[in-house]
Structure 1
Amino acid sequence: MGTEELDARICTLPPAYGSKHFKNGLSPLSQISGGERKDMAKVLLGCLVGKLPKQAIIAIRSLLDFIYIAQYPTHNALKTFHQNKANFVTLGVRENLNIPKFHSLLHYVNSICWFGATNNYNTEMFKHFHINMAKDAWRASNHRNKRPQMTTWLTRQEKTQDILQNPSGLGIKIAKEFLNHLMHGQPGYMSRNQVNITNVPFDSLDVLTSFNKLTPIHLGDDASASVKYEVIKARPRSKGIAPQFDNVVVLDSLEAESTGVAGTRVGRVKVIFKLPAIFHGGSVGIPKHWPKIRLAYIEWYTNLKGSVDPTHMMYVITKPALRADGTPPASIVPLSRIQQGCHLLPLFGKDQVPAHWGTENALDVCDRFLLNNWASLYTYQNIW
């Protein structure tokens, strides 16, 4: 695969919460930060599927496995990577793999056995301290007699955090107002035709362009560090802003659990809405609790197969056949049934990216996708 084709694939990837869009590809980047390298790792494997031999894909995938697993409280070995890494020499990508960081991977297992878990193997924590305690404080000052100003700023930041974490009084009030703003977003307005629902006793719906899904806790020991909100968008084009209709994993049956994909189904959120007051009382054949909650109109992909592809370890899903009326299979579900957002990567295969494909229409023009379990550490732990 040439640089031009890889850039084209990177540019075509649809947006998703937590993923960085490299609008010009990777080749124009001159200085690459650690965060950008992590963002590349989230999408690179899916862009290489179909272009590299099986052994090369396995080598890359197993190295990603190690990078993600290394963030667990417990660790695993790099056996699969070492068994397949020579393929890059065979392909002529490099004359050898005598790279210090690759060599260090040979010693990880012994190091863990000798010294325990690999705490503080990188400088990320200290970089964050530098940003929070030095850079931000410097920017808040007038750059004159800076040290007292920076110290005062840091003291005020700490006191503010104490107020927000205080389980009484002002802390609760601020937290409730903040969470209320996050959860409710900005209401919109959409006609019956736009919502694509017919034979209902109303002409309009109050809709949201996004909602915030509380991501379940991290599966490791330090659970509190990973609790966060995940933004799910169903936003039409407006005032020059590109449309975005995100994909989600939905709890679909009683087999569904907190981890894994059993009993779940992947779909694309087209509308987030609340039913009008006319439905109160449950007299029109819908669940009585629906008027009290927010709902989503979701267009489905095909059901997930029983197992992932053994080479790249991602599920392959496709668009289903249209119904007799020309519309895709769809359902209305409560937002509570949405387990998490997900990132779908077009399954490019061996062909070049068609010229008319782009990040805005990739989900519309492509028919086959990879369910990207590298999108985040939580996704890696939860989707397999």
Structure 2
Amino acid sequence: MQKVFVGIMAGAVNEKVLTVVRAVIDFVYYAQLHSHTTRTLSALQHSLETFHQHKDIFVDLEIREHFDIPKLHSIQHYIDSIVALGSADGYNTESPERLHIDFAKEAYRASNKRDYTEQMAVWLQRQEAMFLRTAYLTWLHPKGLVQDVVDDELLDDEPSDSEEETHLTDFAVVQYRLAKSPPFRNVTVETLAIQHGAVDFLPAFREVISVRLPFNRYISSNQMITNRIRTTPTRLARGRHPSVPANFDTALVIENPEEYRPSSSLNGLRVAQVRVIFNLPRQFGEFRHPLAYIEWFTPLGTPDRVTGMHLVKRSTRAHRRNAEIISVDRIVRSCHLMAKCGREVDRGWTTDNVLEEAAAFWVNPYITVDEFVMTWSW
């Protein structure tokens, strides 16, 4: 529930209450980070101070009588504990239990089960040597090592029809996987307009053919995050199988390559809804990557003062949705939009129609910790 608290509260409560809610949620997300710096610890402290500074609003509104809660006392020691003992995700038995598998069980399985103690020690020494060598090569040739690994996987393990293919992109930080066999073949433009909502496919197609998608290369990052973006039309009920609603996910797309830098907030990115992912017949030319028909939302401006979230709306041109065909390597990751509500939520909204019915949307950074880290620049 903490993933959607701030978005739901925005507009439903007064600013002081929302400030307290956001401070608590921010504290929870900062505390989940796997590593910390002085800046992240300062942000953690600031969230705690903001909560204590404004928490009396709950007493004034007679929601609570007091805040004598043990957990609220314990969180005051988080920063000191993190400085002394490391990030909070290491305070349970999960890590040593995992290491027992890596250093004991796997080592034992690698032995011939006789005089195994010495064999286990040798196996662990060799594993450590391989790890150190790999770490050195990654530091020495980060981009080349990623390329070699991906190429080896593609050569050694040829995917079947049900498996996926991995591709390095021109924006080297972004990699993507596509099904080897597309679920829909030889789709007409009329089908794209009716079933996928790609009503301006032809104008966008003419533009992309004339421009022919210029490509550039950018500095890569070794850290990869896997997202799934769906562009599936409605599936009608068939036999005992019920109907399945359409899914056209929203994503962060590289709009300005000169401003975009991997893992550096939202610079150069813009929200779009992905309607179609497709390949063209060869008579239209050779494209290095599959293409995607997208519908833009308005650019990301200054975050809202109270919620800290970006507010976007559908982007239009000549009273029609602002659509474009792009190369899929410009799609960085999925993102979560929440309809902007007031005191009450429109009862007509559902998960299937809210993207079409709502007028404005919050870009929700709390859907994952990775999204939170990417969205907030400290």
TM-score range for the pair, normalised by the shorter chain length: 0.5 to 0.7
**1:46 match:** 7
Partner residue in 1 for 2:253: 250
Instruction: Give the CA deviation at 1:176.
Output: 5.1
Residue 284 of structure 1 is matched in structure 2 by none
Deviation at residue 322 of structure 1 after TM alignment: 5.2
Q: Which residue of 2 aligns with 1:271?
A: 276
Distance 2:61 2:76 in 1: 22
Q: Distance in 2 between matches of 1:369 and 1:92?
A: 31
**Which residue, out of 61, 65, 69, partners 1:91?**
61
Q: 1:349–1:184: structure 2 CA closer, same or farther, 3 Å change rule?
A: same
Q: Structure 1 residue 96: deviation in Å? A: 1.7
CA distance in 2, matches of 1:114, 1:309: 35
| Structure 1 segments unaligned to the other structure (5+ residues) | 1-39, 134-161, 203-215, 218-222, 281-288
**Number of the residue aligned with 1:382:** 374
**1:32-57: CA deviations, max 9, x gaps?**
xxxxxxxx111121011111221221
Instruction: Find the structure with the greater CA-based Rg.
Output: 2
Q: How many residues align?
A: 280
Question: Aligned partners of 2:306, 2:79: CA distance in 1, in Å?
Answer: 24
Residue 339 of structure 1 deviates from its aligned partner by 1.2
Instruction: Note closer, same or farther for the CA distance 1:311–1:334 as it changes in structure 2 (3 Å cut).
Output: same
Could you give the per-residue CA deviations for residues 144-199 of structure 1, whole angstroms, max 9, x where no partner exists?
xxxxxxxxxxxxxxxxxx9xxxx89x987675535528923251133212333237
- The 1-side partners of 2:96 and 2:348 are apart by 44
Amino acid of the structure 2 residue aligned with 1:275:
L
Describe the superposition over 1:115-158 as per-residue Cα deviations: whole angstroms up to 9, x where unpaired: 4443533566689899x99xxxxxxxxxxxxxxxxxxxxxxxxx
For residues 220-299 of structure 1, the aligned pairs below 5 Å read 227-239=224-236, 240-253=243-256, 254-258=258-262, 259-280=264-285, 289-290=286-287, 292-299=288-295
SS at match of 1:237: coil
Residue by residue over 1:14-68, the C-alpha shift from the partner in whole angstroms, topping out at 9 and shown as x without a partner, is xxxxxxxxxxxxxxxxxxxxxxxxxx11112101111122122122212222222
Cα pair 2:204 2:324 within 8 Å, conserved? no
Identify the structure with bigger relative contact order (alpha carbons < 8 Å, sequence gap 6+).
1
Match of 2:216 in 1: none
Q: Quick one: structure 1 residues 199 and 308, their matched pair in 2 at CA, closer, same or farther if it must change by over 3 Å? A: closer
Cα 1:41–1:127 shift into 2, 3 Å: farther
Q: Could you tell me which runs of 5 or more consecutive residues in structure 2 were left unpaired when the two chains were aligned.
A: 103-126, 128-148, 167-175, 193-198, 207-219, 237-242
Question: C-alpha separation between the residues in 2 aligned to 1:46 and 1:191?
Answer: 39
Q: Which TM-score applies when normalising by structure 2?
A: 0.65
Q: 2:357 aligns with which of 351, 365, 374?
A: 365
Cα separation, 1, equivalents of 2:361 and 2:204: 34
Matched residue SS, 1:92 = coil
Instruction: Quote the residue 1:310 is aligned against.
Output: 305
Quick one: which amino acid aligns to residue 273 of structure 1? F
CA distance in 1: counterparts of 2:293 and 2:248, whole angstroms = 11
SS in 2 for 1:313: coil
Deviation at 1:73, TM superposition (A): 1.0
2:205 and 2:340 map into 1 onto residues whose CA distance is: 41
In the superposition, relative to structure 1, how do residues 194 and 113 fare at CA in structure 2: closer, same or farther (>3 Å)? same
The one-letter amino acid paired with 2:353 is N
TM normalised by structure 1 equals 0.64
Looking at structure 2, the residues matched to 128 and 44 of structure 1 have their Cα atoms a distance apart, in angstroms, of 33
Distance 1:175 1:311, change over 3 A: farther
Q: Percent identity?
A: 28
Q: CA 1:176–1:69 in structure 2 vs 1: closer, same or farther (change >3 Å)?
A: farther
Residues 1:129 and 1:310: Cα distance change in structure 2 (over 3 Å) = farther
Any idea what SS the aligned residue of 2:2 has? helix
The alpha-carbon deviation at position 103 of structure 1 amounts to: 1.7
Please, what is the CA RMSD of the aligned residues?
3.4
Q: Which residue of 1 aligns with 2:324?
A: 331
1:109 is displaced (CA, Å) by: 2.4
Distance 1:340 1:367 in 2: 23
Once the 2 structures are TM-superposed, how far is the Cα of residue 341 of structure 1 from its aligned partner?
0.8
Give, in whole Å, the separation in 2 of the partners of 1:360 and 1:126: 43
Tell me how far apart the structure 2 counterparts of residues 250 and 244 of structure 1 sit (CA, whole Å): 18
State the match for 1:61 in structure 2: 22
Give the 3 Å change call, closer, same or farther, for CA 44–278 of structure 1 in structure 2: same
Partner Cα separation in structure 2 for residue 297 and residue 370 of structure 1: 23
| Distance in 2, Cα, partners of 1:228 & 1:299 | 23
Q: Secondary structure at the match of 2:333?
A: strand
1:354 Cα shift? Answer: 2.2
